[in-house]
Each structure stands twice: as C-alpha cells, then as structure tokens.
Amino acid sequence: MQSGRNPATVSTRLLVCALAFAGPMSIANVASAQTTQLFPVLGEEVTPIGALPPIALPMPASRDQNYWGLRLQYGQRRERGGPEDLMAIAAGIDYQLRGGSIFGITGGHQWRQNCQATSSDCGGHNLYGARARFNLVTGGPTISSFIGDETATTTIGTEVGFGYAPKVAPGVNACTLDLGAPLSISMLERIRIVTFVTPGLVWDLNCSNNNTSNRSFFTGFGFGIQQLFVRGLDVHFGAQRIFRGSTCLQYGVSVSWVRLP
C-alpha cells in the first residue's frame, strides 16, 4: 500500500489546472486587445482630399471681375474595416480669378466616432489644405442637344491640392498631394442643377519619415444645387472612393457662397 501520491501524477494535475485557468484568461486578454485596438488610418483619409466631400467646378462668371467666396464642409467615412468612423468638418476661403479658376485654403478638424480604443487614442486632429482649380473648357451645344436643355453647360478642368494633418498618431504627421480631372454638367435656368465626377491620383507623401510615397487612384462624384434661393449660394452632395487598403466610401455635404457684385 502506497503511503503517498505519485509525483508525476501530481505534476500533471497541476499543469492541467494551470492551463485550464490560463486559457480563458488569455482568450479574454486577446478579446480585450481586439476591442481596444485602434484601427490605423491612411494619410489619404486624414487630409482634406479624403476627409472632406468633393464639389463641382465653379460656374464661369464675368471675366471682368474677381470674386471672394466662403465654404463650409462636412464629411464622414464609415465602416473602414474597424469599429470606428471618421468624421470631419472644415471651413475654407476661395478666390475666383477673372470669373474662372479658383484658389482656396481649408482648415478643419477630424475625429473618430464610436472609437473603441482608450480615450487618449480617440482624440481628433486638425487638417489643412490648399487647392487650385482651373476651368479649361466650357461648352454647351453637345450636351444641351442630348438632354434637351438649351441652358445646359459642360465644364472640364483640372485641379491640384496639397493636404497636411499634424499628429494623426503619436509622432506621425500626414501629407498628401493630389491631381484630379473634374467634369461637371449644369442644367436648368432658375435653379441650376449640376452633376459632376472627378477621377484622379493622390500621393501619400509620408512626411514623418523617409519612406517612399504611396500612390492611389480616387474617384469623386455627386450633384449640387447652384444659385439656391439667393445668388451665389451653392449646396453640393458628394461622395468619394480612394482605391487603397481598407478605405471605403466617403460622403458629405458642402455649402459655399460667392460674393457677387
């Protein structure tokens, strides 16, 4: 008759108990890490080109005048592959030269909605941008005859923009450069309805390190109401897709006003 337990048996039982306790604790820790993990953002998502909705080219105005304008924009990028959405609001000032090309600056703020990470990681950041938009060709007969509206006009142009967003993550700043080819078609007379599409390229310049830049294609599209209620007041509803990684559809609304003589 044995007076004690087998040491091997005791060791085995202790190991089984330890694994039984550590297994669920490890699973809980992993689940907690997944729920608090901050989904990374791309440079294109946090600068004005990706954070704010696109707008149509401006209507050509008198070539004898220069015009100042104000702009307010709200954008949202949802279901990015993580639990949080990106929201942004910004204001801008535009200067239309000789009734055609526009040069503008933008400043705003972006934040995470429904962020599951710690409160210190869920803070927002500012964003800044500068953009030049050039009207190259404006015509009407082809489109007007096609849609049966003699007042319809087509505008083809090009645009270039630079964006900067500081402190999007600890020690990380974002810089982007974009080049687009906007096309807009406006119709009707009393209240102008405009549809537009803007294909283009955007470069994530990686301004926080020496890595090479990343290039992505994007397409913006939408519609707007020009000369709404008062002269110079336009409202645009736009959406955009950047074809890189887990980015999804971004959409929003823009309200702009041009001081007309």
CATH number for the domain that contains residue 153? 2.40.128
Of the segments 53-57, 94-98, 136-140, 203-207, which one has the largest average pLDDT value? 53-57
Indicate whether 23 and 141 sit together in one domain.
no
Indicate whether 163 and 179 sit together in one domain.
yes
Indicate whether 25 and 54 sit together in one domain.
no
Tell me the DSSP string of 54-122.
--PPPPP--TT--EEEEEEEEEEE---SSS-EEEEEEEEEEEEGGGS-EEEEEEEEEEEES--S-GGGS
Q: How many domains does the chain have?
A: 2
Other beta carbons less than 10 A from residue 207's beta carbon:
16
For the chain, give the mean pLDDT. Answer: 78
8: pLDDT confidence band, cut at 50, 70 and 90? very low
Indicate whether 152 and 236 sit together in one domain.
yes
What pLDDT does residue 38 have?
43
Rounded-to-10 torsion of CA 6, 8, 14, 20: -120
Indicate whether 68 and 134 sit together in one domain.
yes
**For the residues 106-127, what does the mean pLDDT come to?**
78
Distance of CA 23 to the CA centre of its chain: 42
Calpha distance 49→178 (Å, rounded): 7
Indicate whether 13 and 141 sit together in one domain.
no
Which residue carries 């304008």 as its tokens? 69
19-50 pLDDT, tens per residue?
Answer: 343 443 333 333 333 333 444 567 888 999 99
Calpha distance 55→238 (Å, rounded): 6
Indicate whether 30 and 46 sit together in one domain.
no
- Provide the greatest CA pair distance for the chain: 113
The answer, yes or no, to whether residue 56 has pLDDT greater than 60, is: yes
Indicate whether 245 and 228 sit together in one domain.
yes
What pLDDT does residue 190 have?
73
Q: Positive or negative, the Cα torsion across 261, 255, 53, 108?
A: positive
Q: What Å distances lie between residue 149 and 101, 189, 224, CA to CA?
A: 25, 9, 17
Q: Which residue has the higher pLDDT, 187 or 23?
A: 187
Poorest-pLDDT segment among 61-70, 75-84, 245-254: 75-84
Indicate whether 223 and 252 sit together in one domain.
yes
Indicate whether 6 and 92 sit together in one domain.
no
Question: What domain range includes position 4?
Answer: 1-36
Q: Which residue has the higher pLDDT, 53 or 137?
A: 53
Indicate whether 131 and 151 sit together in one domain.
yes
What pLDDT does residue 124 have?
87
188-247 pLDDT, tens per residue?
Answer: 877 789 999 999 999 998 786 656 568 899 999 999 998 788 888 899 999 999 988 767
Indicate whether 3 and 104 sit together in one domain.
no
The answer, yes or no, to whether residue 57 has pLDDT greater than 80, is: yes
